[in-house]
Structure 1
Amino acid sequence: MLISTRMSLLAASLVFICASVSADPIQNARLEGSLQTALSLNRMLNPFRIGVEVEGHQARLSGEVENEVERQLAEHIALATRGIEQVDNRLQVKPELVERPLELRAYAQRLEDATLAAVIRARLLWSRTTEKAPIEVQSSDGVVTLRGRVDSPEAKELAGVVARTTDGVHLVNNLVSLDTAAMAKARENPVGAPTGPQPSDSWVVDKIQNSYRFSRNLDGLNIKVASEEGMVRLSGEVVSSEQKTIAVEIARQIIGVRGVDADLLKVATKVEG
């Protein structure tokens, strides 16, 4: 009888603990927000209204998508979200959604264009060449237009390169012009060594990794970045010598980078089959 009572108490305690974990409203809300953001930023899924509910480590997806590929993609994104271990996928496949109102597609495209423009602006701010350049960035259906007046041809060229190499950009109209007066002043007062505070190494590493992640030319996940007082070391593997050159150049132009050592960044060797 005593053993039975103890087992009952133990079972009740376990139920209480599990209920407490699954009923944490703050954690559930945080995971719901993370997953909803990931779904909204995905270009294949953002036209659809996908409901998200999280309880403990399980996410429940509801709503409608056009096909099974999109249904499975939503589930994969949920499982890739840290903290979610199980997915109850209740999304319904509705092929007729291909006729969904054009306003939804237009809204999704506006979100994507706004995100694309923000990514390019951020990359320009991270570069020592363009951090203070008054460059306006606009995106429409992946076509990016750059406007502004800069004090060096290097700033104009780099702005175009940054835009063209950003993932999701189809075409770039580089309408940035050269300010002759500012160029003359810049020649009279050449910029020497950076005079501002040195960014932290964690900031430098973060900006380099994000630049790789946003670049259409690189797989940032295969490149490891370390920095010590602005001296950057790259390691890992790329698929070509061209990719290695791009990785070094992207790292070199980030604010706070004093030098780049890429000896440990290897080019993958092709295996003949």
Structure 2
Amino acid sequence: MPFTPRMAVLAAALLSVCVPALADPVQDARLQGSLQTALSLNRILNPFRIQVEVEGARARLTGEVENAVERDLAEHVALATRGIEQVDNQLQVNPRLVERPLELRAYAQRLEDATLAAIIRARLLWSRLTEKAAIDVQSSDGVVTLRGKVDSAEAKELAGLLARTSDGVHLVNNLVSLDTAAMAKARENPVDAPSGPPPSDSWVVDKIQTSYRFSRNLDGLNIKVASEQGMVRLSGEVVSSEQKTIAVDIARQIVGVRGVDADLLRVASKVEG
């Protein structure tokens, strides 16, 4: 029987099913780095030495943790990492790890403080009131200290608010002072006056959503954000009218936002038990 073009197509299709896809070591390394970073940044898991191997969409975890809760958490972190679809969880539970070395705990706290300070600096940078303010942020065991000078009382208040509402902060020392010379200059050039090209709508949406995730007052996953030329629309669901107000306030102060429409952001109805 002659080998027809149709037979060639069928043969190619059969090979595509039977022959596994070629490995991509660069992609594997990228996913491995992403997962290792996620585990290191997790405040529960970062004291443990967890090894990660990635092949395709499958991750393998090895090492020791103290209990089954931490073992399961590591698997959830892996599955939440974009690109990881399967997890071979080989972590061993070792209750004797309850006495963790002091240097590991100290390192974990330093990492937590550095991450927390970076989150607050980012939120200050995204706000139209504080984006150009020279505010120093220090964190120690969840106690945040703000120093620097701003050109308005509103900017100082917002800096304290953004720090205080960031997830992981226990106390804020707002030592930011008012710069009288800068205040006079700010009155001549209001903060709402355009000072350059506005950011893109995708940038605005990303910063609002990220700020929601960093806030301990909101479940950002339930709030959808859209923007058209700086006009922001919020939809989804929050658990209280207070949360809705917070969501609107956070969105309103982001650089590039000209207005916020929250008519489609519903407050969840209470279910009688």
The residue number in structure 2 matching 1:218 is: 218
What are structure 1's unaligned runs of at least 5 residues?
1-8
Inter-partner Cα distance in structure 1 for 2:67 and 2:189 = 60
Which residues in structure 2 correspond to 1:56-205 (within 5 Å)?
A: 56-191=56-191, 193-205=193-205
Q: CA deviation at 1:103?
A: 0.5
Question: What RMSD, in angstroms, separates the aligned Cα atoms of the two structures?
Answer: 1.8
Inter-partner Cα distance in structure 2 for 1:119 and 1:47 = 21
Inter-partner Cα distance in structure 2 for 1:88 and 1:98 = 24
The residue number in structure 2 matching 1:3 is: none
TM-score by length of 2: 0.91
Give the 3 Å change call, closer, same or farther, for CA 72–63 of structure 1 in structure 2. Answer: same
Letter in 1 for 2:124: L
Give the 3 Å change call, closer, same or farther, for CA 230–15 of structure 1 in structure 2. Answer: closer
The residue number in structure 2 matching 1:4 is: none
Letter in 1 for 2:121: R
Contact map agreement 2:109 2:141 (CA 8 A) in 1: yes
Give the 3 Å change call, closer, same or farther, for CA 100–252 of structure 1 in structure 2. Answer: same
- The match for 2:19 among 6, 17, 20 is 17
Inter-partner Cα distance in structure 2 for 1:191 and 1:30 = 41
Inter-partner Cα distance in structure 1 for 2:41 and 2:200 = 29
SS state of the match for residue 31, structure 1?
helix
% identical equivalent positions: 84
Aligned residues: 262
Which residues in structure 2 correspond to 1:185-264 (within 5 Å)?
A: 185-191=185-191, 193-264=193-264
TM-score by length of 1: 0.91
Give the 3 Å change call, closer, same or farther, for CA 194–103 of structure 1 in structure 2. Answer: same
The residue number in structure 2 matching 1:34 is: 34
Inter-partner Cα distance in structure 2 for 1:43 and 1:222 = 24
SS state of the match for residue 138, structure 1?
strand
